[in-house]
Amino acid sequence: MSADALTLTGRSIRLSRRNIDALITAIALPVILLLVFVYFFGGAINTGTEYVTYVVPGVLLLCAGFGSANTAMAVTEDLKGGIIDRFRSMDIGGTAILTGHVLASTARNLAATSLVFALAFAIGFRPGASAAGWFAALGILIAYILAISWLAAAVGLIAKSPEAAGGFSFFVSFLPYPSPAFVPTDTMPSWLQGFAEHQPVAPVITSLRGLLLGESIGHTAWVALAWCAGIATVSILIAAALFSRRTD
Amino acid sequence: MPEQPAIAATGLRKTYGSGARAVEVLRGVDLTVPPGTVHALLGPNGAGKTTAVRILATLTTADAGTAQVAGHDVRTERTAVRRAISLTGQFAAVDERQTGAENLRMMARLARHSRASARDRAHHLLERFELSHAADRLVATYSGGMRRRLDLAASLVGDPDVIFLDEPTTGLDPRSRRELWSVVRELAVQGTTVFLTTQYLEEADRLADRIGVLHTGRLVAEGTAQSLKSTVADHRLDLVLHDRADYLRLTPHAVHHAPDTLTLGIPTDGTARHVRALLDELDPDGTAVERFSLHTATLDDVFLALTGTPTPRPEPKEAAAHVR
Ligand SMILES: Nc1ncnc2c1ncn2[C@@H]1O[C@H](COP(=O)(O)OP(=O)(O)OP(=O)(O)O)[C@@H](O)[C@H]1O
Ligand SMILES: [Mg+2]
């Protein structure tokens, strides 16, 4: 990775540290979401395991979705201001600028992830994963975060205003609901089950949960990684094309 | 062999949009700027100043024509041009949520300075632009003038050979404006080529070695402030008139109008003979003109003579961003 991308990652992290929305999304929201799911809904949902153990992967993905809104908005704000022109006149390309936003987004999400894990442990989360399982789970989570962040960067380039960028990202935040993230899919109406079990979030949730619980998950992890790689690749290509169009 | 110009452009054309909605923004602009000089592009809103700057700074491509900046073609040698230039756009290009020092350190890092030398560079520039006291404050808390100074400082981190300033003093108070002028002059003394755009005639007059007057996408005049002024009548006779009726009667002769004070400006060569003849002709009874004064022509008069439209009055413009 280029030195420029690193410098710009530092920039994006500083900007999000001072952005109250981004801070709330990265710190307060994960805590609230976990508590709401475990204590408000958890009692009524029967998943066969401790609900906190069941729901942690879902909360992690939900946080990643909300975090993507901040990423999209940050990209839109850059385009709206004059700073992109200055960067371009310094021969700094779209790749470095967007990589900066994506890596900062990843850092924010990892902060959220650590919080969720710490709090979950405190309230009874007892995963049975081996070291290798933890490693694999983290790898898949990072792959998902990167994919969603690149998607958000592309959305930020499409949107004409930060508000529109935020609106778009709502869709991504919503995606974990119709999936095995919060309730077993067999409790859903049958027309929804097909979607809930095969949409991109489903294999990510299933493999995260399986890896954390130390269960065998077959090839699901590969399906999850393939989805992440696919989403990331398409988003990067779209973002690159949009960047040169939006900045001419 | 004559020295290679810092900026050389021929036949630049640019049209935005297509079909019935097409706007021809530049219609064949030629420019030559020798190294180490200050060149001002003067024009009213919508004249095409920003477009010209963006083409020369490689941010947008011309539909036709060629341009070399610092000896490199802006179309085929973008990277080489970008290494040699810096741009301060019309709208501030610094991060509100970084401090002044953080902004400058970041720019210096991006201009390939080491961490230590970036810190040095930021420190010196903050001092030079009298921002040291605010170095560790978020830019969001800066005044408009401070922001503009930081913006200019940011474009100097890389020691550019050619610097583009798009309306650098719009929105500044007179003191900040004079400070910025002295920075620009200093840069030129050090050998940097400065290409700036402005709507202020006085600014072009004070700063620039040469001035190009841009009007609806064409350069309608080019030269030193002196030579531009001599293309119109050398002098202007300002007449303060007795009443409104006299004012209206003589209006067609004037190049300068100030209805509030019942003053009209009439072009003249400034000789006693011509002034006397003018007064006799315009005011045969000796009752219409109360007082008169004689001025050397200003760029205002030049602008009017060249474009047939009155001087653009710089309006306070919002620092809102350009959404492309
Ligand atoms: N990206 C664009 N798409 C369409 N039209 C544009 C675009 N950029 C500029 N224009 C049009 O081109 C004309 C000249 O614009 P330009 O910004 O170059 O003028 P300017 O001299 O810098 O004016 P100002 O003093 O207001 O900054 C304007 O009519 C503007 O609306
Ligand atoms: Mg402009």
Task: For chain B, give percent helix, strand, coil, nearest 5.
Answer: 40, 25, 35
Alpha helices in B111-216, H assignment, sequence order: 115-128, 144-154, 174-189, 201-207
Q: Give pLDDT, residue B2.
A: 56
- Which atom of ligand 1 approaches the CA of B324 most closely? 1
How much is the pLDDT for B316?
39
From the list A14, A18, A90, which residue is nearest B110 (CB)? A90
Q: What are the distances in angstroms from CA B201 to CA A180, A192, B44, B168, B300?
A: 68, 69, 10, 14, 7
- DSSP code of B259? G
In a domain, B137, yes or no: no
Chain B residues in contact with A11 (beta carbon < 8 A): 95, 98, 106
SS3 A94: helix
| Measured distance CA(A89)–CA(B84) in Å, rounded | 10
B317 lines ligand 1 (CB under 6 A): no
- What pLDDT, on a 0 to 100 scale, did the predictor assign at position A182? 80
Q: Do A89 and B57 touch (CB under 8 A)?
A: yes
Structure-token pair, residue B51: 């477009």
Residue of B nearest to A8 (CA): B106
The CATH number linked to B207 is 3.40.50.300
CB atoms within 10 A of CB B19: 5
* Same domain as B243, residue B220: no
Q: What is the pLDDT of residue B298?
A: 67
* Residue B125 belongs to some domain of the structure: no
Alpha-helical runs (H) found in B219-318: 225-231, 244-250, 272-282, 299-307
pLDDT for position B21: 85
* B77 and B156 in a common domain: yes
Q: Give the model confidence (pLDDT) of B9-58 as tens digits.
A: 999 999 998 888 888 999 999 999 999 999 999 988 888 999 999 999 99
Instruction: State if residue B324 touches ligand 1 by the CB under 6 angstroms criterion.
Output: yes
- Determine contact: B150 vs chain A, CB below 8 A: no
- Using CA atoms, how far residue B126 sits from A142, B115, B135, B151, in Å, is 40, 17, 7, 11
- When scoring A16, A18, A85 by the number of chain B Cβ atoms within 10 A, the one with the most, hence best to mutate, is A85
How far is CA A248 from its chain centroid?
Answer: 30
Interface touch A7/B61, C-beta < 8 Å: no
pLDDT value for A183 = 78
DSSP assignments along B121-142, one per residue = HHHHHHHHTT-GGGTTSBGGGS
Is-contact B242 B292, C-beta < 8 A? no
Asked if residue B22 has its Cβ within 6 Å of ligand 1, the reply is no
CA B267 to centroid of ligand 1, rounded, Å? 33
The backbone torsions φ and ψ at residue A187, rounded to the nearest 5 degrees and listed phi first, read -90, -5
Q: What is the CA(B318)–ligand 1 centre distance, in A?
A: 15
**B133, part of any domain:** no
Distance CA B131, CA B117 (A): 19
Q: Residue A194: enclosing H or E segment and its boundaries? A: helix A190-198
Asked if B184 contacts B196 with a C-beta cutoff of 8 angstroms, the reply is yes
Its ipTM equals: 0.86
Closest residue in A to B84 (Cα) is: A90
- Cα–Cα distances (Å) from B68 to A90, A172, B3, B34, B50, in that order, read 17, 46, 14, 12, 17
CB-CB contact of B37 with B190 (8 Å): no
Distance CA(B306)–CA(B293), nearest Å, equals: 24
Residue B104 counted as domain residue: no
Task: Kindly give the distance from the C-alpha atom of residue A248 to the centroid of ligand 1, in angstroms, as a whole number.
Answer: 13
**A69: Cβ–Cβ under 8 A, 6 or more apart, which residues?**
A25, A152, A165, A166, A169, A170, A172, A173
| Residues B42, B92 within the same domain | yes
Q: Which residues of A touch B113 (CB under 8 A)?
A: none
Of the residues A90, A95, A99, the best mutation for testing chain B's interface (the one with the most B CB atoms within 10 Å of its CB) is: A90
Residues of B in contact with A81 (CB under 8 A): 91-93, 321
Q: What DSSP character marks residue A40?
A: I
Identify the domain boundary among B178, B206, B228.
B228
Q: Identify the DSSP state of A19.
A: -
Could you tell me how far CA B112 lies from the centroid of its own chain? 30
DSSP state of B286: S
In a domain, B200, yes or no: yes
Nearest CA to ligand 1 atom 13: B46
Which range marks the domain in which residue B299 is found? 231-307
Chosen domain end from B228, B244, B277: B228
| Residues B239, B260 share a domain | yes
For residue A11, give the nearest of A64, A113, A81, A114 by alpha carbon: A81
Residues 80-139 of A with CB under 8 A from B: 80-83, 85-92
* Residues sharing a CB contact under 8 Å with residue A125, sequence separation 6 or more, in sequence order: A50, A52, A53, A56, A117
User: By the CB < 8 Å criterion, does A165 face chain B?
Assistant: no
The residue in chain A having the minimum alpha-carbon distance to the alpha carbon of residue B61 is: A248
Q: How far apart are CA B107 and CA B126, in angstroms?
A: 13
Residue A114 burial (C-beta neighbours within 10 Å; 0-12, 13-18, 19+): exposed
Is residue B51 lining ligand 1, measured as CB closer than 6 Å? yes
pLDDT at A46: 72
DSSP annotation string for A224-237: HHHHHHHHHHHHHH
Q: Does B8 touch chain A (CB under 8 A)?
A: no
Q: Is B110 in CB contact (< 8 Å) with chain A?
A: yes
Q: Report if residue B187 sits inside a domain.
A: yes
Among residues B179, B208, B228, the one where a domain terminates is B228
**B181 lies in the same domain as B88:** yes
Grouping H, G, I as helix, E, B as strand and the rest as coil, residue B310 is coil
What's residue B231's pLDDT?
67
Spatial separation of the C-alpha atoms in residues B87 and A89, rounded to whole Å:
7
Number of neighbouring beta carbons within 10 Å of residue B250:
17
For residue B44, give the ligand 1 atom closest to its CA.
Answer: 25
Query: CB-based contact (8 Å) between B83 and chain A?
Result: yes
In a domain, B57, yes or no: yes
Instruction: Quote the number of domains for chain B.
Output: 2
DSSP helix, strand, coil percent of chain A (3-state; round to 5):
80, 0, 20
Q: Specify which residues B264 forms β-bridges with.
A: B239, B257
Residues B60 and B154 in one domain: yes
- Specify whether B160 is located in the same domain as B299: no
For chain A, the domains span 3-247
Q: Which residues contact B175 (CB under 8 A, 6 or more apart)?
A: none
Q: Quick one: B186 and B244 in the same domain?
A: no
- Taking chain A (248 residues) in runs of 10, the rounded mean pLDDT of each run is 89 90 82 82 74 85 88 90 88 91 93 90 86 92 95 90 80 82 81 84 90 86 93 94 80
Together in a domain, B17 and B68: yes
Residues B214 and B298 in one domain: no
Report d(CA B141, CA B128) in Å as an integer: 20
Q: Which residues 38-57 on chain B approach chain A with CB closer than 8 angstroms?
A: 54, 57
- Enumerate residue ranges in chain B where pLDDT < 50: 1, 312-324
The SS3 of residue B12 is strand
Angle at A190 between CA A189 and CA A195, to 5 degrees: 100
Same domain, B21 and B155: yes
* Ligand 1 centroid distance, CA of B260 (Å): 33
Between A and B, how many residue pairs show a Cβ–Cβ distance under 8 A? Answer: 81
Could you tell me if B35 and B175 lie in one domain?
yes
Of A15, A86, A92, the CB nearest to B98: A15
Query: Is B59 within 8 Å of A19 when comparing Cβ atoms?
Result: no
Residues of A in contact with B97 (CB under 8 A): 14-15, 18-19
Pick from B102, B85, B166: nearest CA to B137: B102
**CA B40, CA B36: separation in Å to the nearest integer?**
13
Query: Can you tell me which residue has the tokens 């602008």?
Result: B303
Q: From the list B106, B111, B164, which residue is nearest A11 (CB)? A: B106
